[in-house]
Structure 1
Amino acid sequence: MKNLYLRYKTQIKNFSSLSILNFFNFVFSFITFPYIVRVIGVEKFGLINFAAAFVAYFGLLTDYGFSWSATQLVSLNRNEKLKLDKNYSSVISIKIFLIILSVILLSIIIFSIDFFRNDYQLYYLSFLFVVGTTFFPNWFFQGIEKMGYIASITIIFRALSVIAIFVFITEPSDYLLLVGINGVTTLIIGLFAMVFIQWKFNIKFIIPNLNEVKVYLNYSWDYFITNIGISFYTNTNTFILGLFASNTVVGYWAAADKIRNAITII
Structure 2
Amino acid sequence: MKQKSLKKNSILNVIKTLSSIIFPLITFPYISRVLLPTNVGKVNFGSSFISYFSMIASLGITTYAIRECSAVSNDKEKLGKKSSEIFSINICTTIVAYLLLAITLMTFRKLDVYRTLIIIQSTSILFMTLGADWLNTAMEDFKYITIRTLAFQVLSLILMFIFVRDQTDYLKYAAISVFSASGANIANIFYRKRFCKVTFTFDMQWKKHFKPILLLFVMILAQTIFSSADVTMLGIMRSDYEVGIYSTAHKIENIISQVVSSLAWVVMPRMSAYYAERDYEKINDLLRKTLELLMLIGIPAVAGTCMLSKEIVTIVGGNNFIEAALPLS
Give TM-score scaled by structure 1 length.
Answer: 0.90
1:261 deviation in Å? 4.2
Which one is further off, 115-124 or 139-148?
A: 139-148
Written as runs of structure 1 = structure 2, the 5 A alignment for 1:44-59 is 44-59=39-54
Partner of 1:86: 81
1:59 deviation in Å? 1.3
Partner of 2:291: none
Give the count of matched residue pairs. Answer: 257
Query: Matches of 2:65 and 2:180 in 1, distance apart?
Result: 24
Residue 256 (structure 1) aligned with residue 244 (structure 2):
no
Residue 139 of structure 1, aligned match among 126, 131, 134: 134
Residue 109 of structure 2, aligned match among 77, 91, 114: 114
Residue 145 of structure 2, aligned match among 150, 173, 180: 150
Which one is further off, 111-120 or 164-173?
A: 111-120
Closer, same or farther in 2 for the Cα pair 1:69/1:259, shift >3 Å? closer
Alignment check: 8 A CA contact 1:132 1:183 kept = no
Alignment check: 8 A CA contact 2:80 2:198 kept = yes
Three-state SS of the structure 1 residue aligned to 2:198 is: coil
Partner of 2:312: none
Question: Residue 179 of structure 2 aligns to which amino acid in structure 1?
Answer: V
Partner of 1:221: 214
Question: Residue 161 of structure 1 aligns to which amino acid in structure 2?
Answer: S
Runs of 4+ in 1 over 6 A off after TM superposition: none
Question: Residue 215 of structure 1 aligns to which amino acid in structure 2?
Answer: K
Residue 123 of structure 1, aligned match among 100, 103, 118: 118
Query: Matches of 1:225 and 1:52 in 2, distance apart?
Result: 21
Alignment check: 8 A CA contact 2:57 2:95 kept = no
Closer, same or farther in 2 for the Cα pair 1:10/1:48, shift >3 Å? same
Alignment check: 8 A CA contact 1:64 1:221 kept = yes
Residue 14 (structure 1) aligned with residue 9 (structure 2):
yes
1:185 deviation in Å? 3.8
Q: Percent identity between the aligned chains?
A: 26
Query: Matches of 2:243 and 2:54 in 1, distance apart?
Result: 21
Written as runs of structure 1 = structure 2, the 5 A alignment for 1:96-245 is 96-198=91-193, 200-201=194-195, 203-210=196-203, 212-245=205-238
Alignment check: 8 A CA contact 1:46 1:248 kept = yes
Alignment check: 8 A CA contact 2:69 2:79 kept = yes
Query: Matches of 1:159 and 1:196 in 2, distance apart?
Result: 20
Alignment check: 8 A CA contact 1:153 1:193 kept = no
Give TM-score scaled by structure 2 length.
Answer: 0.73
Alignment check: 8 A CA contact 2:61 2:90 kept = no
Alignment check: 8 A CA contact 1:137 1:193 kept = yes
